Structure 1
Amino acid sequence: MPATDFTKELAALIKARFPIIYVVTWEEKRFVDTVKAMIQDTSLFSKPRPVWEWTVVDGFSKNNRVEKGDIKTPMRALEFADELEEDGILILKDLYAQLALPNCEQNVIRKLKDLVWRIKEGDWLKTVIITGHDKFIPDALQKEILIKEFALPTAEEIQQVLVKLVEQNRQNQRLRFDIDSNNTIARLCEAACGLTLNEAENAFALSMVNDGVLNATDVSTIAEEKKQIIHRNGLLEFSMPKLKMEDIGGLENLKKWLEKRAQSWSEQARKYNIPAPRGVLITGLPGCGKSLTAKTVSTSWNVPLLRLDMGAVFSGLVGSSERNMRTVIQTAESMAPCVLWIDEIEKAFSGVGSSGDSGTATRLFGTFLTWMQEKEKFVFVVATANNIDFLPPELMRKGRFDEIFFVDLPTRAERKIIIDIHLKKRLTHPDVIGNLKLDDSFIDPLVERTEGFTGAEIEQVVISGLFEAFSENRAITIDDFITAIENTVPLVVTQSEKIRAIREWANVRAVSATSINHKASNGQAVNNDPKKPDEEASRGGRSIEF
């Protein structure tokens, strides 16, 4: 097995005589196998060293043989590591449980502190490695122990598992394997990225037994397995929406911007030396398509959508919020390429730096900002916000998000598209349509009457009109929709002052999601100089065409 970046770094730490290393991983066996292979690599070590493993059940084992089975307490394990008179790597698998306790035993903390210097100044080349699924380090040991992350397996490692599983089952007459194409294997392995090796093997095995065939269509089965795994942590919601960009009425500026960045994580994009986009912040009025856009991005880019529940991140236990945020980041990066959708982000970070903030929101905000600035994996963040005033100014600085878009009330041209989309979506049965013709003569009167309506309000108008016809068991008429319009009090009436304030903010700080052509088709002036906002620009963002 060729040396990886992780094994090279770990080998360097061991040779540099770092006494205690804490490795964060869910995969104990894979990590131990990696260490054993690393020790045998002559390019990294001049001679192999024994690898000891300790658990509270078996005590110490060496080279897969239990040799010190009576050493089953954390304190005895540390004493053994201290007294061992030979070179070696000691992997303590269950010590994290003691360190994770709110009141970790003081004698364990003291022994670890003493062990640091005993190993450094001793005659034997010893390294203690503690493994755990999260960072469980008491404050008193923060400066004594080095922390390393053991990343989830790569697509190449997952492919080795897949090939081995297929070879083991080739002779099974009930199974068929249509994976001769390298592209099929690559798609299956790419779909399994983000899983542990054990989870990936389980997903492949499930794909085989479901229909007796393993082929490219099993990508959906693997995606479903990932969905269940992510669902268990309660912080992220996994989905593969069926919505398309065509389902969004208008917002052509925003849609074109997103379309130009499709496949920006691919090998082809690397040829152009362009950085992968970090994300986009979409602000504006409720019901105008912000959330719908977030869902359609993942569909058009053919990547998973992860929806972040910030309420779950801010859990009640002290310290758990920070751990939850780290879990979110690690999970999202393991799923890359993917879209991370943070809905109503202002509710999560509105209290940052205020007198009511206990410090948790500020720390989480700092962690999020640092990750946004430095992330290397392709996790495209789509953040939506209704009230931009509640967002910390640091979040809107260039370098966090690639662009800030403002979504205003739909223009006349956009309302026509939205009405047409919803009519065609719902008027599918001939008994409901009757003699109706969905042409301009039918749609235009509805467009005129819905001025100031949001996209969501227009959708409800269509639904309410259909209920009118349904209640009388007849075909739909234009009067049904007109009645629904007259019975609707739009947002522009109930929140006119708020809308005016948001537009004034967006005029100089955001790009309009609506294209120039759609604004012009509404009979409105178009501002070609974003530095000199005119009446139309004040209606919602700079009129920049992509």
Structure 2
Amino acid sequence: MENLTVTGLVRLIGAGATMIYVKTGNERHTEQIVSQAAGRLRGVGAPYVWTCTGGFSRNGEVVEGITDPVASLDYAVAQEGPLLFLFKDFPWFWGDNPYLIRALKEFALCGKAKAIIVIGQDEGLPPTLREEFVVLHQGLPSMDEIRAFFAQAAARDVHLAKACRERPGLMDDLVVAAQGLDFTDLERGMRTARASGETGGDGFVRAMFETKQASIRTSGIMEYVVNDVTPGQVGGMENLKQWLARREQAFSLEGISSGENLPKGVLMMGIAGCGKSLFVKAIAATWRLPLIRLDMASVYDGTFGSPESSLRKAFRTAEAMAPCVLWIDEIESGISTQGFKAEGGAASRILGSFLTWMQEKRAPVFVAATANAIEMLPAEIIRKGRFDEIFYIGLPDAKAREEIFRIHLARRRVAPETFDVPLLAGSTKGFSGTEIEQAVLSAVFEAQAEGRSMTQQDLMAAVSRTVPLSVTMAEQIKKIEAWAFKRAVPA
């Protein structure tokens, strides 16, 4: 579906298109684009705008108070062209109105030198009208449009202008922070910064990130993840850390952050609790990219439309926010060979949409997918070319367990040097990183309950009370390890 732009709209109407449908979530921005396009079309002048409450208006003044949709089309046909009409509320009426459907078809035949643009929030064109309409999508503002918005805002807002003078790179930071937001969201973010009193450079940037987080949260399908994890907070995984560092060296951190040289993606599979999700956060933080999490359960539950339309919406959101990291957690819960049998056609279409997008996407979206049971994934997902690499994250070895203990002790403001960390690592063979963290937490709580500092004995007691997953699910873990032995790169 082509995005709506001023140039594209002028080209379409100039080529003879008389009926155009625009799927948009921002009527005001769409009306601005239509008005700009009308100004470029010879002899057209300002567009006529119709609503079901006020009828026709032009340049903000009421021209004809015709609120009936069929009568409004009769009025449009009767006017001498060239003219451009923008109808805002038609989709509410054409569902079961054969008179309106027929009037639109007749306009397509009789509307010489005139064009109508219908806007709506859904892609629900009646089947009988699909051949008559050219369908466009109102995309989110481009980086150039966002930059122009902030340039205009700085001319009006003395606080923003002062912040830009004091911090030369502020405009670039604002543009990156605002990617994926509509103009109404940008204005809301500016008001939030002023209302909070944080009118310095950091305050404006923070307001944009908070607005973006709220905007993505309301979509339901996606989640903006607040992230401050670094690779230093991840114990072990030396191969994966080296892979991340080599990508930085090959593409440069500046190139990755700008989206010019972003790798395609990585798939991390392995045992639950071994740090897959943590490392996804580390990738986004290291490359200074926003992290968006896609919930596959929300894609399938139908709250936001069909699974296919929900997935398309998620991809468009990710591309609008690019460069970014798209985190698909437990990808096998939404795309699996078993899902084809249970879900039927929907699962097959989801797989097809995902594969096509991964292969054809041009926007710098790095896909970081995690899976606990990679054997459930279709072969098309894990073949080379979809992801840059597939890593297997197994249970940490003794050296990695030492690192994990030191990380969690330091996080609790306990000096690791006061503990026999090698002994702790040796006594936790078969423990995952999460199980080690919970043992440390349990020891901290026990010590706090008695009003004293944590000791080595507290940690050893907590370890002895823990039955690791490698014991309770030994057969399943051995099966995963056997599958990954020659099929994935050890992390």
Give TM-score, length-normalised by structure 2: 0.90
Q: Does 1:60 align with 2:59?
A: no
Unaligned runs of 5+ in 2: none
Q: In structure 2, how many angstroms separate the alpha carbons of the residues matched to 1:306 and 1:235?
A: 10
Alignment of 1:262-341 (within 5 A): 262=248, 268=255, 276-316=262-302, 319-341=305-327
Instruction: Return the offset for 1:283.
Output: 0.6
Alignment of 1:11-160 (within 5 A): 11-41=10-40, 45=41, 47-48=43-44, 50-70=46-66, 72-99=67-94, 103-119=95-111, 124-160=112-148
Alignment of 1:337-416 (within 5 A): 337-350=323-336, 354-416=340-402
Unaligned runs of 5+ in 1: 514-546
Q: In structure 1, how many angstroms separate the alpha carbons of the residues matched to 2:487 and 2:462?
A: 36
Which residue of structure 2 aligns with residue 178 of structure 1? 163
CA shift digits 1:63-105 (9 cap, x unpaired): 43321212x2332333333444322222111113335xxx533
- SS at the partner of 1:346? helix
- SS at the partner of 2:381? helix
Aligned residues of 1:351 and 1:357 also touching (Cα < 8 A): no
Which residue of structure 2 aligns with residue 10 of structure 1? 9
**CA RMSD, aligned part only?**
2.9
Q: Which moved more, 1:244-253 or 1:291-300?
A: 291-300
Instruction: Return the offset for 1:175.
Output: 8.6
Q: In structure 2, how many angstroms separate the alpha carbons of the residues matched to 1:285 and 1:9?
A: 50
Q: Which amino acid aligns with 1:159?
A: R
Q: Which amino acid aligns with 1:452?
A: G
Aligned residues of 1:453 and 1:492 also touching (Cα < 8 A): yes
CA shift digits 1:429-453 (9 cap, x unpaired): xxxx7xx8436xx011111111111
CA shift digits 1:4-58 (9 cap, x unpaired): 99333222221221232211222222222223223333xxx55545522111122
Instruction: Return the offset for 1:355.
Output: 3.5
Aligned residues of 2:5 and 2:33 also touching (Cα < 8 A): no
1:285–1:215 Cα change, 3 Å? same
Instruction: Return the offset for 1:277.
Output: 1.8
Q: Does 1:482 align with 2:460?
A: yes
Q: In structure 2, how many angstroms separate the alpha carbons of the residues matched to 1:77 and 1:391?
A: 54
Which residue of structure 1 aligns with residue 153 of structure 2? 165
1:47–1:76 Cα change, 3 Å? closer
1:467–1:507 Cα change, 3 Å? same
Q: Does 1:510 align with 2:475?
A: no
Aligned residues of 2:44 and 2:84 also touching (Cα < 8 A): no
Q: In structure 2, how many angstroms separate the alpha carbons of the residues matched to 1:48 and 1:87?
A: 5
Alignment of 1:199-214 (within 5 A): 199-211=185-197, 213-214=199-200
Instruction: Return the offset for 1:388.
Output: 1.1
Which residue of structure 1 aligns with residue 404 of structure 2? 418
1:61–1:375 Cα change, 3 Å? same
Aligned residues of 1:50 and 1:87 also touching (Cα < 8 A): no
Aligned residues of 2:44 and 2:81 also touching (Cα < 8 A): no
1:337–1:468 Cα change, 3 Å? same
Q: In structure 1, how many angstroms separate the alpha carbons of the residues matched to 2:31 and 2:351?
A: 35
Instruction: Return the offset for 1:267.
Output: 7.2
1:368–1:107 Cα change, 3 Å? farther
Q: In structure 2, how many angstroms separate the alpha carbons of the residues matched to 1:136 and 1:213?
A: 43
Q: In structure 1, how many angstroms separate the alpha carbons of the residues matched to 2:221 and 2:17?
A: 35
1:177–1:254 Cα change, 3 Å? same
Which residue of structure 1 aligns with residue 208 of structure 2? 222
Q: In structure 1, how many angstroms separate the alpha carbons of the residues matched to 2:70 and 2:373?
A: 54
Aligned residues of 1:161 and 1:201 also touching (Cα < 8 A): no
Instruction: State the percentage of identical aligned residues.
Output: 37
Q: In structure 2, how many angstroms separate the alpha carbons of the residues matched to 1:410 and 1:258?
A: 19
Aligned residues of 1:162 and 1:204 also touching (Cα < 8 A): no
- SS at the partner of 1:509? coil
Aligned residues of 2:56 and 2:65 also touching (Cα < 8 A): yes
Give TM-score, length-normalised by structure 1: 0.82
1:391–1:74 Cα change, 3 Å? farther
- SS at the partner of 1:108? helix
- SS at the partner of 2:318? helix
Q: Which amino acid aligns with 1:500?
A: K
Figure out how many residues of one structure are paired with residues of the other and give that number.
Answer: 487
Q: Which amino acid aligns with 1:460?
A: Q
Q: Which moved more, 1:454-463 or 1:344-353?
A: 344-353
Q: Which structure shows the bigger proportion of residues in helix conformation?
A: 2
1:398–1:53 Cα change, 3 Å? farther
Q: In structure 1, how many angstroms separate the alpha carbons of the residues matched to 2:109 and 2:218?
A: 41
Instruction: Return the offset for 1:133.
Output: 2.7
